[in-house]
Structure 1
Amino acid sequence: MSNPINRSIKVNGKEVKNRIIMPPLVCFNWGNDKGFETVSRGEHYGKRAKGGTGFIIIEATAISKDGRITDTGLGLWSDDHISQFNDIAKSCHDEDAVVTVQLVHAGMKSVGNTVYSSSPVDMENKECLGMSIEQINEVKENFVKAAIRAEKAGLDGVEIHGAHGYLLSQFTSKETNKRTDKYGGSLDNRLRLPIEIVKEVNEATGDDFIIGYRFGVNDPTMEEDKYFAKKLEDLGVHLLNVSSGIGANDIEVPKDFPFSSITYMGTEIYKEVNIPAACVGGIRKPEDAKHLLENEMIDMVAVGRGLLADPDWTNRAINDEEVDICYHCSPRCKYAVDGKKCPWYR
């Protein structure tokens, strides 16, 4: 039997040469306050593309300066940012990799003393206010403009970040969304903002442009997740990249499931849709990815820290070679402080 990792797959008609995704992983302290890189991302992502990875998602990139995850993160809120993504697109395409960028607004997790979310939130170190309709419309416009810039940069698509407790999670989750207007209350109302963003990005970009969605599981419940996943498919989303949501800690996993709860939810969403679905969640060893693919539990496997530790992870996995394994540094990932502090950095 051929190595399941090395099977190609089509995402919105684009041929992806294998089933491994590099998920969006922020390179902390590799940029400046204006959204520009200070360490080459073309080189960073190009190494993973040269190492065989078929699909690369560039790290969380802010659609507006007031929606940044970190004050050193990449931005796509200005045309001036396009050139750095053009360099990434070329470095990945030169190695026959498909490459998209994750677009994000962090909401109450944004940088700044005053931030905005679906509803006001009591926070110790900052003031969090509820967004007005005018601000919501501005967020939608900024997602669309950033997607257009990504297309101009030569990227193959975008991933809209709807997970990890960032703004779109804050709208979909009833834990954080206490609105009483058309963006709050019922499930369809809480899903309204991401749905409108997907629609408008789809209308503003080309037919062959990939629209992915970073899907936050159990946000708010598993059954509502399944409903939302089908809605996204109907809207024209081409890839669901399943990760953690606000209620992810409450997921119940069967005792015989060999991987994490987040991986489990990826395999559950996979069953509900007819578009490619990817799972993530501590998958560092090739045999784990092979198990998921061989047993038809998922379409694609996102290998995060494994690819930070070993840029050649995918080629080595395909050739049944040993890979460099992430040390899972304690008390926290050293890459999350500065990529150059990772023991495997090169």
Structure 2
Amino acid sequence: MNLINQPIKINQYTIKNRIIMPPLVCFNWADTDGFETIDRAEHYGKRAKGGTGLIIVEASAISEEARIVREEVGLWKDEHIPQFERIAKRCHDEESVVIVQLVHAGKAAIGNPVYSSSRIELEKKECLEMPLEMIKQVKKDFVSAAIRAKKAGLDGVEIHGAHGYLLSQFTSKEVNKRTDLYGGSLDRRIQLSLEIVKEVRDAVGDDFIICYRLGVNDPSSEEDKYFAKKLEASGVDVLNVSAGIGANDIEVPDDFPFNKIVYMGTVIHDVVSIPVACVNGIREPEQAEYLLENNLTDLVAVGRGLLADPEWTNKAINGLPINKCYHCKPRCKYLIDGRDCPRYSELS
């Protein structure tokens, strides 16, 4: 048995191997009311059938105002539950564990004005400091979306605290200039994330996975370690380590064979006891095996590799060649519409 194929326990669930499909937004695959227009059960079901142990469904909005783009799947009302029920059933039929990422985009959200941890100068829309009453509502929205995810039969949720979205805007001292209980010291800047984790846990119970998408170098690598330990203590079951607002300033040792985001994942792995996933630019089975062999991470998130080849995990486990991502230039065509990806037409 290679290390990719070793099972791992997260909460009450046994993940059959170490490969995760990270949350990858399917742009233009939903309408403006949060409903899918392209079958997500088929999309994620293919990757589950291809052997992937843990599927994280793409960023799903906790409210209409929280959306990253207008055509984004939602979990802000009960009518959204059936589309996630279909995803859950399809993935469970293939013995994959499946959770959904919950997001509030903050200053990156649609609409005008938008709200962030602090007032921010934007070119095309006004960004205001989020008042306390709105923060209370955001917490309620995360909890309500998590409850809907559980009703849909999903195995957990991932709370999005990376990529410069709302929770990342609160943890970052570059963005957060508040003077109240959510600003100033590190403990205050991370308070909102910890409150959301606690309130979600109280609402969904102990047997539901809570993953946190941790944005690294928000505000520094040393403070990331502190925050990671706090998240573990608050009830988070697994950390999915990705880019934060200050990620460009990370220094990587010369002998480390991966990029700065993967490196910070390995740093976080060393300071917590819960499972940690590394992500970003990991496309080859040999890369995943290297990270696991050297005890640098517990789980490996393979993004574009799984878009290019739904059978990536089974092929990696069995030593078979994978269909490689074409690395389209000047940018990934999937970021416009998944159907534009050259691999999509090959797989249809």
Q: Would you call these one fold, judging by a TM-score over 0.5?
A: yes
| 1:265-309 residue CA offsets vs partner (Å, 9 max, x unmatched) | 000000010000000010000000000011111000000000000
1:264 corresponds to 2:263: yes
| 1:140-193 residue CA offsets vs partner (Å, 9 max, x unmatched) | 000000000000000000000000000000000000000000000000000010
1:311 corresponds to 2:310: yes
Q: Secondary structure at the match of 1:344?
A: helix
* Matching residue's letter, 1:24: P
**Which residue matches 1:103?**
102
1:332 corresponds to 2:325: no
**Which residue matches 2:218?**
219
| 1:107-154 residue CA offsets vs partner (Å, 9 max, x unmatched) | 000011211000010000111000000000000000000000000000
- Return the alpha-carbon distance in structure 2 between the equivalents of residues 71 and 284 of structure 1: 30
**Which residue matches 1:51?**
50
- Return the alpha-carbon distance in structure 2 between the equivalents of residues 293 and 155 of structure 1: 27
For residue 206 of structure 1, report the CA deviation from its aligned partner.
Answer: 2.3
1:89 corresponds to 2:69: no
Q: Secondary structure at the match of 1:242?
A: strand
User: Where do 5+ consecutive residues of structure 2 fail to align?
Assistant: none
Matches within 5 A, 1:105-184: 105-184=104-183
For residue 13 of structure 1, report the CA deviation from its aligned partner.
Answer: 2.0
User: Where do 5+ consecutive residues of structure 1 fail to align?
Assistant: none
How many residue pairs match? The answer is: 345
- Return the alpha-carbon distance in structure 2 between the equivalents of residues 288 and 5 of structure 1: 11
With 326-335 and 277-286 compared, the bigger mean Cα shift is at 326-335
- Return the alpha-carbon distance in structure 2 between the equivalents of residues 264 and 322 of structure 1: 26
**Which residue matches 2:32?**
33
- Return the alpha-carbon distance in structure 2 between the equivalents of residues 167 and 307 of structure 1: 27
* Matching residue's letter, 1:37: E
Matches within 5 A, 1:12-31: 12-31=11-30
With 199-208 and 148-157 compared, the bigger mean Cα shift is at 199-208
- Return the alpha-carbon distance in structure 2 between the equivalents of residues 191 and 243 of structure 1: 17
TM-score if structure 2 supplies the norm length?
0.99
With 111-120 and 299-308 compared, the bigger mean Cα shift is at 111-120
Q: Secondary structure at the match of 2:342?
A: coil
- Return the alpha-carbon distance in structure 1 between the equivalents of residues 78 and 53 of structure 2: 28
**Which residue matches 1:288?**
287
Q: Secondary structure at the match of 2:225?
A: helix
TM-score if structure 1 supplies the norm length?
0.99
| 1:172-220 residue CA offsets vs partner (Å, 9 max, x unmatched) | 0000000000000000000010000000000000221000000000000
* Matching residue's letter, 1:176: V
Structure 1 vs Structure 2: percent identity of aligned residues?
A: 68
For residue 228 of structure 1, report the CA deviation from its aligned partner.
Answer: 0.4
Q: Secondary structure at the match of 1:216?
A: strand
Q: How large is the Cα RMSD of the aligned pairs? A: 0.5
* Matching residue's letter, 1:76: L
* Matching residue's letter, 1:62: A
* Matching residue's letter, 1:252: E
| 1:200-248 residue CA offsets vs partner (Å, 9 max, x unmatched) | 0000002210000000000000010000000010111000000000000
- Return the alpha-carbon distance in structure 1 between the equivalents of residues 76 and 129 of structure 2: 22
Q: Secondary structure at the match of 1:148?
A: helix
For residue 327 of structure 1, report the CA deviation from its aligned partner.
Answer: 1.2
- Return the alpha-carbon distance in structure 2 between the equivalents of residues 255 and 13 of structure 1: 39
1:189 corresponds to 2:188: yes
With 243-252 and 327-336 compared, the bigger mean Cα shift is at 327-336
